[in-house]
Structure 1
Amino acid sequence: MRVIANPRVSEQAVLAALREAFGDLSQTEPTGPGQFVVDLPGGGDVIHFPATLPSANSYAVKVSPYLPQPAGPAVVTAWTMLVSLSTGQPVALLDASHLTVERTAATTVLAADSLLPSDARTAAVVGYGRIGRAHARYLRRLRPDMAVRAFSRQGIDETDDGVQVVSSIDDAVASADLVMLCTSAANDVLDPRTLPASAVVTSISTNAPGAREIPPAAVSELDVYVDARTTLQVATELVEAAASGWDRATVRGDLAELVTGQALRPSGRRPVYFRSVGLGIEDAAVAWAAYNDNAITGGQH
C-alpha cells in the first residue's frame, strides 16, 4: 500500500473526477453515499465517509477524527483509504486534508455552474478562509468572466487576483448572481429571501451539531437542491424545516441529476439554494484522481 502524505491534484482533474463519479451515480442507486459519526469516549468523534467507485473498481473510506484537547484547539485530521474490489487489498492511504478543501469547493462550483444562467456576472464569497479561496479559484476555472467579491468577519489580509475585498455581507451580496457561503458559523449568516429570485445561494456549513448558515424558516420559500438526498437527514436547516412542515419531496434535484441535466431547472420565482455536506463519493473520486496524478508525478509518500 502506498502512503501519500502530501497529495496534490489539478483543478481540472478534480472537476473531471467529480463529473464522472456523479454521472455514474445517476445511473445506479449509490451505496452509503452519506456519512456517519462515531462518538468517542470523553468527547470528540470520528466522521466516516464511505463510497464505492465503480470506474476505479475501488472502495474508499475517509475518516476524519475530531479530538478536543485540554488546552488549545482540537486536533482535526482526515485520511482516505482506497481498497481494490478485485483483491480486497488496500491500494493507497492519502492525507485528505487538502483534498477535502478541493472536493468541497469543486462540488459547490459544479452545482452552481449548472444552476446559473449563462449570463451570470457577479459572485460573492462569504467567509474567505482556505475553503472560501478554493471556491473562488474553482469558480474562476468554470466561469472566468464572473467578477468575485469576498467578505470575511475575520478580515482578509490579501486576496487572489480578480477578487475584490468588501467590508460587509451586504456589499458582497448586492446584485450578486451567486452567493457562496463558506463560513464556520453555527447560526444564520444570510437569509436568501432577501435576495432577488434569480440568485443562487450555496452552503457548506460545518459538521458541528446544529450548525447552519441560513434560517430554517427560509427553506420552504426557496428552490432547494442538494448534493445527495441523504443530506436531507443531516443538514440542520433542512431537518428543522422538515420538522416544521416543509416537504422534502419538493427538492428539485441532487448533484448527480444536475451534472447529467436530469434535475428540474430553477423556477425563476424564488432564490435557489444548494446545500452540500460532503460525501464519500466526492472523497473517493478526488482521492483516486490524486493517487493517479501522484503516481505519474512522483508525489511525496
Structure 2
Amino acid sequence: MDVLILSDAQIRAAVGAADVVDSQDRAFLLAAEGDGVRSAHTHYTTFAPDGMAFVHSAVAAGETGVVFKAGTQHPRNAERDLPTVHATVTVHDPDSGRTVGVLNGTTITALRTAGGLVSAARALSPDRPHTVGVLGAGAQATEFVGLMHALLPVDRFLIWSPRLHALGRAHLDARLADLPVEVAASPRDLCERSRTIAACTLSRTPVIEGAWLGAGTTVLTMGSYAPDRCEIDVACSARAARTFTDLPEQALRSTGPVLEAVRAGMLKEEAVHPIAEVLRGDHPGRADEAETVVFHSNGLGVQDALLAWRAYAAARSNGIGTRVDL
C-alpha cells in the first residue's frame, strides 16, 4: 500500500520530450470529445501581492485515475529567482481512489504547459527549419525551447524578456547554453524575424502587436488565460485567419485577447476552434502558408492528469521514485 513520490528529476527520468507532447495531444483530443473527461477547478486570490491559490482535478475514463493539482502562483517570484508556480500533484487509483502517487506539481505544470504549446506548434507551424521567437525567459519559456528543440525543426530561437534585456545572456537558463539561442533586440525585432512566436509571460498588456507580424506567422500564447491578461493586441487577433484554443467554451469565458476581439467585432465566437480539430485532421490549420494563425492555451485539468498519470505509470514500471508507506 505504498505511495510513489516523484521529484523533478525523477519525473524527467520517467518521461521524455515525446511523451510530454504526445500526452498533450491526447489531452486536447479528450477535452474536445467531452464525454471521456470529468474535471473541476477553483482558484482565489491570496493576501500576497498578485498571489493566487488553485486546485485542479480531472479524470479521463480508462486512461487515468483521479488527479489533483493544488498550488499557488506568485508572478513576483521571478524577482526572487523562484518559480512562479509551486504545486503538488496527487494521483489516485482508478477503482479504489487510494492515493498512489505524489508528484512535483511545479514540474508537471511547467512541462504540460510548454508541452501544450509545442503540441499546437507541431500542428500549426512549418514542418521545415525556421526561426522561433520566445517572449519570456522563465521556467515556461525554457521548457518550451527545450521541447521545441527536441521535437521540431528549428533553425534558431530568438528570446526576449525585460530581465534578459537588462542582464544579457547570463540570465538564460543553463539548459539553453548549447542550443541555437540568440537574444533579440526588442519584442518587435523578435516578432519581425520569427515564423513561430510563443508568448510565455503573465503580461496584462500586449507583448505582441499585429503590425509586427510577417505573413504565415504562428502565434502561441500561454499567459492570456484570464480576462485581464492580453499577451497579444487586438490587431494581432484581427490579423489571424484562424484562431484555435485548447477548449473554445473556456476561452470565450476567460481568454483576454479572445474576449477583446469578440467585443470589438473582429472575431466571431463560432470562429474559435479547438486545436483538436487540427490534431484529428478535420481542419487544415491554415488554408495556405501566408495565413497567420493564433493558438491560446488556457490550461486544462486533463492536461495535468494525462501527463501526471503517464509519469507515474512509467516511473512505477521502471523502478523510478521513492516509495513511502503513509
For Structure 1 versus Structure 2, the TM-score category normalised by the shorter chain is 0.7 to 0.9
Residue equivalent to 1:53: 60
RMSD: 2.9
**Cα distance in 2 for residues equivalent to 1:34 and 1:117:** 35
Residue equivalent to 1:293: 314
Cα displacement (A) at 1:205: 1.2
1:263 and 1:281, CA in 2 relative to 1: closer, same or farther beyond 3 A?
farther
Moved more, 59-68 or 179-188: 59-68
**Cα distance in 1 for residues equivalent to 2:75 and 2:135:** 27
TM-score by length of 1: 0.86
1:174 and 1:68, CA in 2 relative to 1: closer, same or farther beyond 3 A?
closer
1:284 correspondence with 2:305: yes
1:191 correspondence with 2:209: yes
1:174 correspondence with 2:192: yes
3-state SS in 1 of match to 2:67: strand
1:11 correspondence with 2:17: yes
**Cα distance in 1 for residues equivalent to 2:54 and 2:130:** 37
**Cα distance in 1 for residues equivalent to 2:227 and 2:285:** 32
Residue equivalent to 1:237: 257
Kindly provide the CA deviation profile for residues 204-261 of structure 1, in whole angstroms up to 9, marking residues without a partner as x. 116677122112454233121101121221111212322333311112x323223222
Kindly provide the CA deviation profile for residues 18-44 of structure 1, in whole angstroms up to 9, marking residues without a partner as x. 233334445443545674324558985
Residue equivalent to 1:261: 281
Give the partner amino acid of 1:287.
A
Of 175, 198, 202, 2:220 maps to 202
Write out aligned runs for 1:128-167 (5 A): 128-155=137-164, 156-157=169-170, 158=172, 159-160=176-177, 161-167=179-185
3-state SS in 2 of match to 1:13: helix
**Cα distance in 2 for residues equivalent to 1:128 and 1:176:** 16
> Which consecutive residues of structure 2, in runs of 5 or more, have no partner in the other structure?
none
3-state SS in 1 of match to 2:162: coil
1:221 correspondence with 2:239: yes
**Cα distance in 2 for residues equivalent to 1:217 and 1:170:** 14
Cα displacement (A) at 1:5: 4.1
TM-score by length of 2: 0.80
Moved more, 218-227 or 206-215: 206-215
Tell me if the contact between 2:188 and 2:212 (Cα under 8 Å) persists in the aligned partners: no
Kindly provide the CA deviation profile for residues 92-119 of structure 1, in whole angstroms up to 9, marking residues without a partner as x. 2212101211111111011011112323
1:64 and 1:217, CA in 2 relative to 1: closer, same or farther beyond 3 A?
farther
**Cα distance in 2 for residues equivalent to 1:67 and 1:175:** 32
3-state SS in 1 of match to 2:163: coil
Give the partner amino acid of 1:214.
I
Tell me if the contact between 1:57 and 1:86 (Cα under 8 Å) persists in the aligned partners: no
Cα displacement (A) at 1:142: 1.8
Kindly provide the CA deviation profile for residues 34-80 of structure 1, in whole angstroms up to 9, marking residues without a partner as x. 743245589854222222222434122212234799xx979852122
**Cα distance in 2 for residues equivalent to 1:185 and 1:97:** 20
3-state SS in 2 of match to 1:77: strand
Tell me if the contact between 1:125 and 1:151 (Cα under 8 Å) persists in the aligned partners: yes
Cα displacement (A) at 1:193: 4.2
1:215 and 1:36, CA in 2 relative to 1: closer, same or farther beyond 3 A?
farther
Moved more, 218-227 or 203-212: 203-212
1:212 correspondence with 2:230: yes
Cα displacement (A) at 1:190: 0.9
Return the structure number with greater helix share: 2
Cα displacement (A) at 1:187: 0.8
**Cα distance in 2 for residues equivalent to 1:37 and 1:243:** 25
